[in-house]
Chain A
Amino acid sequence: MSESGALIEGNARVLGDHIDTDAIIPATYLVSHDPVELGSHLLEGHDPDFPSRIKEGDIIVAGLNFGSGSSREHAPLAIKGAGVACVIASSFARIFFRSAINVGLPILESPEVVRATEEGDRLRVDLAAGTVENLRTGVSFSVQPYPDFMRRIIDAGGLIDYLKSQD
């Protein structure tokens, strides 16, 4: 199944506004580029206990301007490396947004979903249909689909695989 067609179900890990990339992966760890190693420090700059609480398949639900600050691709890689299935935020900082697309990390922008989600809620995300269902409340939201250009990158599994498929 293509990445953007995937069905994702996981528990929400709720964060606030302006979670910057120093919070996601502090600079001191940027001497590694192994996603699993980076993932073992995920969000340590925000909360030192976060890495011990995050579970494979969890969904990060954050507020405004998620991923602001540095261009470090270690941030989306750490999120992938920790096994996070998807990030939903009210808005994303632009470098994080493009890097997430480029490395094939599913992300969705939806202030409505963020407002209606509490810590631990079970969410079902249908990327192809563009819907997010909160299984605790039973409420379903439709989200803006990716523009075609980004969808092609995501479907290919990231930018490098997309470029290879164009050769």
Chain B
Amino acid sequence: MSATRKILTEHSGKQRLQPGDFIEVAVDLVLSNDVTAPIAIKEFERHGGEKVFDAGKVVIVLDHFTPNRDIASAQQCAMVRSFARRYGIKHFYDCGEVGIEHVLLPEEGLIEPASVVIGGDSHTCTYGALGAFATGVGSTDVAAAMATGKAWLRVPEAILVKVSGKFRRWASGKDLIIYLIGKIGVDGATYRSLEFTGEGLKGLSVEGRLTVANMVIEAGAKNGLFPVDILTVRYLALVGIEASELSIEPDEYGYSDEVDIDLGDVEPQVALPSLPSNAVAVGEAPDVRLDQVVIGSCTNGRMEDLRVAAQVLKGKKAAAGVRLIIIPGSPRVYRGAIKEGLFDVFLDAGAIISPPTCGPCLGGHMGVLAAGEKAISTTNRNFAGRMGHRESEVYLSNPAVAAASAVTGRITDPGEIV
């Protein structure tokens, strides 16, 4: 049985589940944000709910259009604030507590292995890195779960991704996931789980796993799942969660497909416009002049990401005319980057340092592209128009490649300048 199915079985009250079964599961956490909560609240109120099922299990983060872009986004936040007050939502993140939700929740110790998390945000799948079943849903699902503590799911088939070998210089979790999506396609895992296993995971930090799990949705997956190993147990202990190891093993009845990846084959990747599956090694990326570089997001806005960006940028400057935008993903990351002196490196390089926000990733604010402009970004989507005008272009990469590209103004292998 796949590890996902085991978690769902435990939460469904059923003895045995088959892929394709429709089940109702008890959820441990329901997440939404300033974009998805307003519709959820409207539907919740239409349901006639007088209280949420458990005020300690509902999480709302105002991270997409904050600090507010305009009156309309301010109105939406005001509506969500009043809901949070009225229903006593315990984990409501506003003001200086705001982080990008998928950077924030693991740090806050809200994600437990083998739990079920649903979120009105497609990148909710990030939490599979910590051994949770976590999946993105729409606002109506969030409304129903806030009212009843339950969600309907179709039990997914699973693909086992066996990872071996060691990362090459400058390659990281981002490269593994872009490489995988390049192999299986943007709908290569639709309706299915992507479960990761193998010796290669020993060299993949928990932050790197959060990056990988974050982007399984870009292959269409319902969820991604990592084993809970000694690295996860240590990470969780630091945020106050006691956990024991949970393995993911090959199982002839558990998986509909297998994919093998040797990390030795994974060069730093660039996903060309306008699908995350347009993966090439950085050396094969076209020679384009960049207008903007974004380092941050729920994919790559953690300490490890900023450290590697600083390592590349140290003593260097962003090329003339390149807007280098760096977004620490949470207050903790923000403070950490200051304490470690990374802000000095970034400011010396001519970077703009943003407060934690989803902002430019979705073309919301704080770094929107004009027609014809090109950006390299450590975010997760490079769809046409994702970061602004529909005739702008987004190239996806890891933080080291993005930082090196900021220095030269062209897509650059960090090895060439460090």
Contacts and interface: CB of A to CB of B under 8 A. Distances in A.
Interface of A: 18, 20, 22-23, 26-28, 30-33, 45-46, 48, 64-65, 68-74, 76-77, 91, 93-95, 98-99, 102-103, 147, 149-150, 158-160, 163-164
8 contacts: A23-B385, A33-B38, A33-B76, A48-B390, A70-B362, A73-B39, A98-B141, A99-B137
B190 A93 contact: yes
B47 A77 contact: no
B364 A71 contact: no
Given A64-B187, A98-B138, A26 B36 contact: no
Contacts of A70: 121-122, 362, 381
B136 interface: yes
B408 interface: no
A91 B140 contact: no
Given A22-B381, A64-B187, A70-B122, A31 B138 contact: no
Interface string B168-207: 0000000000000000001100110000000000000000
A160 B143 contact: yes
Interface stretch (B65-73, B261-269, B287-295): B65-73
B210 interface: no
Contact of A149 (B22, B122, B390): B22
Name, among A31, A33, A48, A74, the residue most crowded by chain B CB atoms within 10 Å (CB to CB).
Answer: A31
A163 B220 contact: no
A91 B137 CA distance: 18
A18 B143 contact: no
Nearest to B124: A71
A72 B122 CA distance: 8
A71 B137 contact: yes
B64 interface: yes
B354 interface: no
B275 interface: yes
Contacts of A147: 22
A158 B43 CA distance: 11
Given A22-B386, A71-B138, A74-B39, A149 B152 contact: yes
B120 interface: yes
A102 B136 contact: no
Interface residues of B, number: 51
B122 A95 contact: yes
A65 B186 contact: yes
A120 B139 CA distance: 32
Given A45-B384, A98-B137, A158-B140, A72 B363 contact: no
A48 B39 CA distance: 25
B222 interface: yes
Contacts of B139: 73, 99
A154 to B, nearest CB: 13
A163 B73 CA distance: 30
Interface in B385-414: 385-386, 390
A96 to B, nearest CB: 8
Contacts of B186: 18, 65, 68
A149 B381 CA distance: 33
3 closest A-B pairs by CB: A99-B138, A31-B72, A73-B138
A102 B385 contact: no
Interface string B61-84: 000110001101101100000000
A163 B190 contact: no
B84 to A, nearest CB: 17
A95 B137 contact: yes
B363 A93 contact: no
Contact of A102 (B22, B69, B119, B138): B138
A22 B42 contact: no
B333 to A, nearest CB: 23
B144 A69 contact: no
A93 B275 CA distance: 14
Interface string B116-153: 00011110100000000000111111011001100010
Nearest to B221: A94
B46 interface: yes
B48 interface: yes
Contact of A71 (B36, B47, B190): B36
B375 interface: no
A65 B64 contact: no
Contacts of B53: none
A124 B59 CA distance: 44
Contact of A163 (B36, B75, B147, B222): B147
Contact of B36 (A32, A45, A73): A73
Nearest to A94: B191
Contacts of A32: 72
Nearest to B364: A27
A95 B136 CA distance: 7
A94 B220 contact: yes
Contacts of A26: 363, 385, 390
B303 interface: no
Contact of A45 (B140, B143, B390): B390
B270 interface: no
